[in-house]
Every structure is written in structure tokens, then in C-alpha cells.
């Protein structure tokens, strides 16, 4: 190795080290500035890991009766059994797959379509804006729950035999479609409003005066500035979708009977035994609460971080809450 090669190798090693260390530094800085957001992110990561490895972690088949009904928590069944003799821990783990698969699928569809429609409506306006806005108003005229029930009753309650998250998402496509249809129009209104406020900014007007086409301006100038708002909305929307899926399953109108679902485990025969077997309701109820709380905390932190007016407010908010207490 020559003397000239050594500094070059050292610089490459330093760049590689920085690439490895930088994400951890950023995560540490985020946790310091937004501790509640870091708590929410930790909860999300835990449930995502549980969902990914649920088939391996679940000690029993979540769909089969494997013991006597309403057994109290023990070494054989850490969270007890439900009214049908199914292991509660196994059903909570497998149920996390359905909740997260539905939640992420709905949000992915919503982000894609609502961003596209909102950008088109806000930038081009005219007939395009009129059609998109009137379609959203027509959909909003129907009560959300009634519209969901109508779609699910027409398409049928979904069921799944488990597997990876992609397989479960495909099995849940009827439910995902029902949730996505209503969410798209609400998201497009948000994107449209942001686009309207951005389209007359100096950098957009300059690009237009230089001959940039509409698609180029939308892709290069508007989309990057719209995405922070979309990301914050999507993060908060995940918790809403998970809660809505649980509520629909609780009413018996979500997933098919017998399918592991947090909402369904709070309904049916189990409801008759909540007084004498609290663990039947406590496990899925806690899972729903923690998941929704995690997404809400993380979404609030993202909003504070991406909004210049709110930057640095994370720790100040905690200090003010402590002082008020």
C-alpha cells in the first residue's frame, strides 16, 4: 500500500462508519427532543415485530379450541383461554397481523390516491377540481359507518388462514377497500389545500415562467413540499384505521367469525364472561389501546418535527405539563 492510498482508504472507512452511526445519532436526537414520540415509535416497533413473527411466537393454533374454556392465566396459557377454549395469547399475536395488515394497506392506498387526486385538484383546478371535490362531497353525505356496513355486506366479511402480512392483506381486501374508499377523499382535501397555498409561491412561478410543464412542477416542486403533511396525516390515520377495524369486528361486521381479531375477541360469547374472566377482555383491549396510542404519539411528534412553528416544542410541552401538575 502506497502512502497516497492510505488516506483514501481512511476516508472511505470514516464515511462507512458515519453511515452506520448517523441513523443511531438521529434516533437519539429524536428521542431526546420528542420523548413521547420515541415512546410511540417503540410501541409501534414492538407490535410490528410481534406481527411479523406471530406464526412463530404463537404457542398454539389461534383458530382451534385447545383447552377448557375460560382457563385463568397459567404457565401453559400465559393469558388464559377464551370462552371457546382458544389460547388468548395466540389470538392476540395473530390478531396483530390482521390489524397492522389492514392499517398499513389502507394508509398506503390512501396516501397514493389522495396525494394524486389532491395535487391534480389543487394545481389544475377547473373541471378536474370540480369533479374530485363533488365526488368527495357526495361520499361525505353518507354516514361513514353506514357506508362501511353497506360495502362490507355487499362484498362479504373477509377471512384469512394466516401467513405473511401480504397474504393476510390480500385476504382482507374487501375490508381494506371499504376503509380506503372513504379515507381517500378526506386525504385529497388536505393535499388540495396545501397545494393551493404552494402553487403561487415564487419558486413555482419561476419554474412556470422558465417553461416547466405542469407534471414537472407537480413532481419536482409541489410533491416534496406536500409529503410532510401527508406523512403526519398517514401516521395518525393508522391508529384510526386500526381502531375502526376493531370496532367493526366488535359489531360482528368486520372479519368472518373465528378469524383472530382484537375487535372480535371483545365480542361474541366472550362478552358474557368479562366479569368472571377479565383476562379475556384485558389482552385484546390493551393491545388496541397501546397500538393506537403509539401511532398517535408518534404522529404528534412527526407533526412537531416537520412543522417549523412547532420545532423544539416536545420537551417544552412535557415541562409545562409537569409544572402545571
Per-residue model confidence as pLDDT tens digits over 75-117: 999 999 998 899 999 999 999 998 999 999 999 999 999 999 9
Whether pTM exceeds 0.85: no
User: Can you give the pLDDT at residue 228?
Assistant: 87
Rounded CA separation 68/85 (Å) = 5
**Average pLDDT of the chain, as a whole number:** 84
pLDDT range class, residue 290, cuts 50, 70, 90: very high
| Domain range summary for the chain, segments of one domain joined by + | 38-319
How many CA atoms lie less than 13 Å away from 23 in the CB half-sphere? Answer: 3
Better-scored residue on pLDDT, 139 or 242:
242
- Percent of the chain that is helix, strand, coil (3-state, to 5): 75, 0, 25
- Given a cut of 90, whether residue 73 has pLDDT beyond it is yes
Span 275-301, average pLDDT: 92
Top pLDDT among 248 and 291 is at 291
Q: What residues contact 36, with CB distance under 8 A and at least 6 apart? A: 297, 300, 301, 314, 318
What is the mean pLDDT of the segment spanning 308-313? Answer: 52
* Calpha distance 216→152 (Å, rounded): 39
Please give the share of the chain, as a percent, with pLDDT higher than 90. 38
Structure confidence by residue, pLDDT tens digits, 218-256: 999 999 999 988 988 899 889 989 988 888 888 777 787
Q: Are 136 and 208 in contact (CB under 8 A)?
A: no
Flag whether pLDDT at 142 surpasses 70: yes
Among 67-76, 105-114, 157-166, 180-189, which is the least confidently predicted range? 157-166
Q: What is the pLDDT of residue 188?
A: 92
Rounded mean pLDDT, 120-129: 91
Classify residue 133 as exposed, middle or buried by CB count within 10 Å of its CB (0-12, 13-18, 19+). middle
pLDDT band at 9 (very low <50, low <70, confident <90, very high): low
CATH level 2 (architecture), domain 38-319: Orthogonal Bundle (1.10)
Instruction: Answer with the residue of higher pLDDT: 315 or 29.
Output: 29
pLDDT exceeds cutoff 90 at 319: no
Amino acid at each position: 500500500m502506497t502512502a497516497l492510498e492510505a488516506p483514501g482508504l481512511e476516508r472511505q472507512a470514516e464515511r462507512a462508519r458515519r453511515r452506520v452511526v448517523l441513523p443511531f445519532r438521529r434516533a437519539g436526537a429524536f428521542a431526546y427532543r420528542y420523548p413521547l414520540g420515541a415512546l410511540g415509535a417503540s410501541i409501534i416497533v414492538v407490535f410490528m415485530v410481534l406481527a411479523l413473527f406471530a406464526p412463530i411466537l404463537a404457542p398454539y393454533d389461534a383458530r382451534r379450541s385447545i383447552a377448557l374454556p375460560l382457563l385463568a392465566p397459567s404457565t401453559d396459557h400465559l393469558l388464559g383461554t377464551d370462552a371457546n377454549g382458544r389460547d388468548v395469547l395466540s389470538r392476540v399475536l395473530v390478531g396483530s397481523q390482521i390489524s397492522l395488515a389492514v392499517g398499513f394497506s389502507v394508509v398506503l392506498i390512501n396516501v397514493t390516491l389522495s396525494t394524486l387526486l389532491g395535487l391534480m385538484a389543487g394545481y389544475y383546478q377547473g373541471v378536474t377540481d370540480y369533479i374530485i371535490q363533488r365526488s368527495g362531497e357526495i361520499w361525505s353525505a353518507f354516514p361513514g359507518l353506514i357506508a362501511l356496513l353497506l360495502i362490507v355486506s355487499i362484498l362479504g366479511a373477509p377471512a384469512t388462514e394466516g401467513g405473511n402480512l401480504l397474504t393476510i392483506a390480500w385476504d382482507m381486501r374487501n375490508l381494506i377497500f371499504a376503509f380506503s374508499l372513504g379515507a381517500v377523499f378526506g386525504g385529497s382535501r388536505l393535499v388540495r389545500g396545501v397545494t393551493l397555498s404552494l402553487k403561487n409561491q415564487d419558486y413555482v412561478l419561476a419554474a412556470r415562467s422558465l417553461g416547466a410543464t405542469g407534471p414537472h412542477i407537480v413532481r419536482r416542486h409541489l410533491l416534496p413540499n406536500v409529503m410532510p403533511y401527508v406523512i403526519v396525516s398517514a401516521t395518525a390515520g393508522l391508529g384510526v384505521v386500526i381502531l375502526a377495524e376493531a370496532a367493526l369486528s366488535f359489531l360482528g361486521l368486520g372479519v368472518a367469525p373465528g378469524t383472530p381479531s382484537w375487535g372480535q375477541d371483545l365480542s361474541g360469547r366472550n362478552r358474557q364472561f368479562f366479569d368472571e374472566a377479565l383476562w379475556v377482555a384485558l389482552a385484546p383491549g390493551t393491545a388496541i389501546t397501546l397500538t393506537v396510542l403509539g401511532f398517535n404519539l408518534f404522529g404528534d411528534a412527526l407533526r412537531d418535527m416537520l412543522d417549523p412553528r412547532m420545532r423544539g416544542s416536545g420537551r417544552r410541552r412535557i415541562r409545562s405539563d409537569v409544572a402545571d401538575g
